[in-house]
A and B are shown apart, each in its own frame.
Chain A
Amino acid sequence: MRERVEVADERAERLRLDFPALAGRSHTGAPLVYLDNAATTQKPESVIEAVAGYYRSGVANAHRGAHTLGARASAAYESCRTAVQRLLGAEHPDEIVLTGGCTGAINLVAHAFGDEHVGEGDEVIVSTLEHHANLLPWQRLCQRRGARLRVLPSSPEGDLRLDVLESWLSPRTRLVAVTHVANTTGGLTPLGEVVALAARVGARVLVDGAQAVARLAVDVRALGCDFYAFSGHKLYGPAGIGALYGRRELLARMGPFLTGGGMVDAVTPETSAYAAAPRRFEAGTPNIEGAIGLERAIEYLRAAGIDWVAQHDEALTRYARERLARVRGLQLIGAPLHALGVVSFVMDGVHAHDVSTIVDDAGVAVRAGHHCAQLCMQHFGVQATVRASFGLYNTRADVEALCAALERARELLAP
């Protein structure tokens, strides 16, 4: 058991002031209580200013024009790469591919790595907790290559069955693709053990870090994973930008995924020589404003203190789980060993969609549905859940506002 840390509401309240959207109101005029951070996070003023400032001071394409603005755009774009490298603890900036998001990053690996290394009769293992972004690219890959996709079960609490993983791993296992933090339960995957088990049979490990990067310090070298993917917009940065970490020697041997401008060295009608990684994987004009916003978001997170953010997130999540468990008729979905930032629940006799509409009337934003994780819903035997998820600006008062709104939903609709 980890040390119990108190919720640091005062610091969160101060940080909240950096996010102009959080001063807003809902369609009913209620103060906004934003608890849908697992879907996307609000943006601090510094990120908004950085993106707007780029537009104001003049845009250009990266790695193309030799003029003043072109040089600035290229430098800003590469500066983001270095910021991501530091965020993830990667050894080299050229281990970082900037992508359109986490989905884009995982699809890149499924094609550029998967098509090369996964063949007929081989196996790819994912978990039942995966977001569709870390399931469907592997399902498609296995269909293309005649390989077998195996879905690792979870315990009733929602923890990965490492014993089953161990029994499934074989020399045919090419890749294990798992989430770092589950987007439905907040469960933290014991990646150290997954990586160690996979290493015994020489399987590669891809980690979907979409829900993790804004909640805990990530160190890909300490984790020992081969690929790590995340999105900027869940990290207080813009949408449309994300990143893939790939081990240097793996990226060096991977062919391109998308082809087009900016990723080639020499082109002839017959064949082309591609640029070295990571540029080989960045075809087309990159999302420069996204990269600028992402770098600023990473700076914001660092200034807030990732260790503090992680402690606050874990403590607030624990508080929310305990508090929600006391709301009559409410059942938490999943009880993972370590839960970070996300709580899913159902209310007896009240559909998640109705809950979400009713709490929204009180200004509380939560997500209702299957959260792009239908295998996970099937595992827990539910059609849909309500999900509350926290950001660094949330406090216990937000949890209380949710609980009060939930009481209203129960009064209105429970049988």
Chain B
Amino acid sequence: MSDLGKLYQDAILEHHKAPRYAAALGAPTHSAEGNNPLCGDRVAVTLFVADGHVRDVGCEVKGCAICRASGSMLAEAIIGRELSQVVATSQRFLAEFTPAPADGGAPGEPWGQLGALLEARRYPNRLRCATLPWEALQRALGAAP
């Protein structure tokens, strides 16, 4: 598969064409927006958290295929999960995009479908397309990005 085929692999295209949890929640307990001034991508993450779990999520993305797929995959990855797990996953995901990924510590569980998003690392000017929804999620949770 060409690099382009890896970036736009079926998992990404499928989420891009039919994003999950794409509508903002009406009464969220947590929310934040993200904005990439370079390309105009905009993300709004809304969460409904109860008993320490993400009970509902809305991830509204106005942007490119990578950003839309990232938001949709993010929503699937966190719904129903405990907050501490959500923060850990999110931090680990964003660490994959930093120039020198944090070493030490046990490797986490396999990325599953989120692994498709890591292909964006081959495209320096597309990194933020993948990370923007996650950055917004971090802000919504009041956690350090």
- Name A residues whose Cβ lies closer than 8 Å to a Cβ of B: 28, 350-354, 357-358, 361, 368-370, 377, 383-384, 412-413, 415
Contact B16 A413 (CB under 8 A): yes
Contact B62 A413 (CB under 8 A): no
Tell whether B84 is near chain A: CB-to-CB under 8 Å: no
Contact B62 A383 (CB under 8 A): yes
* A350–B16 alpha-carbon span in the complex (Å): 10
Rounded to whole Å, the gap between the CB of A242 and the closest CB of chain B is 23
Identify A353's interface contact among B4, B13, B126, CB under 8 A: B126
Contact B2 A361 (CB under 8 A): yes
Number of residue pairs A-B, CB distance < 8 angstroms: 52
Contact A28 B3 (CB under 8 A): yes
* A368–B39 alpha-carbon span in the complex (Å): 7
Contact B39 A353 (CB under 8 A): yes
Contact B17 A369 (CB under 8 A): no
Q: Ordered nearest first, which 8 A-B pairs have the shortest CB separation?
A: A351-B64, A353-B64, A383-B40, A361-B4, A384-B40, A353-B39, A354-B64, A354-B65
Q: Which residues of B contact A370 (CB under 8 A)?
A: 39-40
* A28–B123 alpha-carbon span in the complex (Å): 12
Q: Which residues of B contact A369 (CB under 8 A)?
A: 38-40
Rounded to whole Å, the gap between the CB of B101 and the closest CB of chain A is 23
Contact B2 A413 (CB under 8 A): no
* A413–B5 alpha-carbon span in the complex (Å): 12
Rounded to whole Å, the gap between the CB of A183 and the closest CB of chain B is 16
Contact B4 A415 (CB under 8 A): no
* A415–B13 alpha-carbon span in the complex (Å): 10
| 16 new A-B contacts at CB < 8 Å, known A357-B123, A357-B126, A377-B40 | A28-B3, A351-B41, A353-B63, A353-B64, A353-B66, A353-B126, A354-B64, A354-B65, A354-B66, A357-B4, A361-B3, A370-B39, A383-B63, A384-B39, A412-B8, A413-B16
* A28–B16 alpha-carbon span in the complex (Å): 24
Contact A351 B4 (CB under 8 A): no
* A354–B61 alpha-carbon span in the complex (Å): 14
* A260–B69 alpha-carbon span in the complex (Å): 52
Q: Which residues of B contact A351 (CB under 8 A)?
A: 39, 41, 63-65, 67
Tell whether B44 is near chain A: CB-to-CB under 8 Å: no
Rounded to whole Å, the gap between the CB of B94 and the closest CB of chain A is 20
* A369–B126 alpha-carbon span in the complex (Å): 12
* A368–B62 alpha-carbon span in the complex (Å): 15
Chain B minimum-CB-distance residue to A415? B17
Rounded to whole Å, the gap between the CB of A344 and the closest CB of chain B is 13
* A384–B35 alpha-carbon span in the complex (Å): 13
Please report which residues of chain B, range 56-104, place their CB below 8 angstroms from some CB of chain A when the two chains form the complex: 62-67
Question: Would you list 30 pairs from A and B whose C-beta atoms are within 8 A, ordered by A residue?
Answer: A28-B2, A28-B3, A351-B39, A351-B63, A351-B67, A352-B39, A353-B39, A353-B63, A353-B64, A353-B126, A354-B64, A354-B66, A357-B4, A357-B7, A357-B126, A358-B4, A358-B8, A361-B3, A361-B4, A369-B38, A369-B39, A369-B40, A383-B42, A383-B62, A384-B39, A412-B8, A413-B8, A413-B13, A413-B65, A415-B17
Q: Which residues of B contact A383 (CB under 8 A)?
A: 40, 42, 62-63
Tell whether B129 is near chain A: CB-to-CB under 8 Å: yes
Rounded to whole Å, the gap between the CB of A348 and the closest CB of chain B is 13
Q: Which residues of A contact B13 (CB under 8 A)?
A: 412-413
Q: Which residues of A contact B16 (CB under 8 A)?
A: 413
* A383–B67 alpha-carbon span in the complex (Å): 14
Q: Which residues of A contact B41 (CB under 8 A)?
A: 351, 353
Q: Which residues of B contact A368 (CB under 8 A)?
A: 39
Q: Which residues of B contact A412 (CB under 8 A)?
A: 8, 13
Q: Which residues of B contact A358 (CB under 8 A)?
A: 4, 8
* A46–B95 alpha-carbon span in the complex (Å): 46
Please report which residues of chain B, range 1-33, place their CB below 8 angstroms from some CB of chain A when the two chains form the complex: 2-4, 7-8, 13, 16-17
Of residues A350, A357, A361, which shows the largest number of chain B Cβ atoms within 10 Å of its Cβ? A357
Rounded to whole Å, the gap between the CB of B130 and the closest CB of chain A is 12
Chain B minimum-CB-distance residue to A413? B65
Contact B3 A353 (CB under 8 A): no
Chain B minimum-CB-distance residue to A370? B40
Chain B minimum-CB-distance residue to A350? B65
Chain A minimum-CB-distance residue to B62? A383
Chain B minimum-CB-distance residue to A414? B17
Q: Which residues of A contact B4 (CB under 8 A)?
A: 28, 357-358, 361
Rounded to whole Å, the gap between the CB of B55 and the closest CB of chain A is 31
* A351–B39 alpha-carbon span in the complex (Å): 10
* A319–B17 alpha-carbon span in the complex (Å): 33
* A358–B3 alpha-carbon span in the complex (Å): 10
* A264–B137 alpha-carbon span in the complex (Å): 55
Q: Which residues of B contact A413 (CB under 8 A)?
A: 8, 13, 16, 65
Contact A353 B8 (CB under 8 A): no
* A201–B132 alpha-carbon span in the complex (Å): 49
Q: Which residues of A contact B64 (CB under 8 A)?
A: 351-354
Q: Which residues of A contact B62 (CB under 8 A)?
A: 383
Rounded to whole Å, the gap between the CB of A329 and the closest CB of chain B is 15
Rounded to whole Å, the gap between the CB of B143 and the closest CB of chain A is 27
Q: Mark B105-145, 1 if CB is under 8 A from A, else 0.
A: 00000000000000000010010010000000000000000
